[in-house]
């Protein structure tokens, strides 16, 4: 794994952890906090699914190009 991938992965992990900690330490009722965490988790999952789908499609396109050449 090259350095740029490691940096991006570390940055992403830091953003996620920072976001969770920010929500946890924000003054809010427990029920509101749980809802915020659930909403942000759903949003993160949706974003990750879209990115994984895009990468998978791109990889499939590259495989098709390589096999047809």
pLDDT tens digit string along 2-21? 677 788 888 888 888 888 88
Domain count, the chain: 1
**DSSP 3-state of 31:** helix
- pLDDT category at 69 given cuts 50, 70, 90 is low
The distance from CA 48 to its chain's CA centroid, rounded to whole angstroms, is 4
Residue 1, pLDDT score: 54
**What residues have CB less than 8 Å from 24, skipping those under 6 apart?**
33
Domain that holds residue 62: 3-68
Residue 68, pLDDT score: 82
- Across the range 34-53, mean pLDDT stands at 88
Q: Indicate the DSSP class of residue 61.
A: H
Whether 54 has a pLDDT exceeding 80, the answer reads: yes
With beta carbons less than 8 A apart as the criterion, state whether 11 and 21 touch: no
């Amino acid at each position: 794994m090259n350095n740029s991938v490691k940096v991006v992965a570390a940055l992403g992990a830091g953003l996620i952890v920072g976001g969770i900690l920010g929500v946890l330490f924000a003054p809010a009722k427990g029920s509101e906090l749980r809802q915020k965490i659930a909403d942000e988790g759903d949003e993160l999952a949706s974003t990750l699914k879209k990115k994984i789908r895009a990468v998978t499609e791109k990889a499939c396109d590259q495989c098709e190009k390589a096999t047809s050449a």
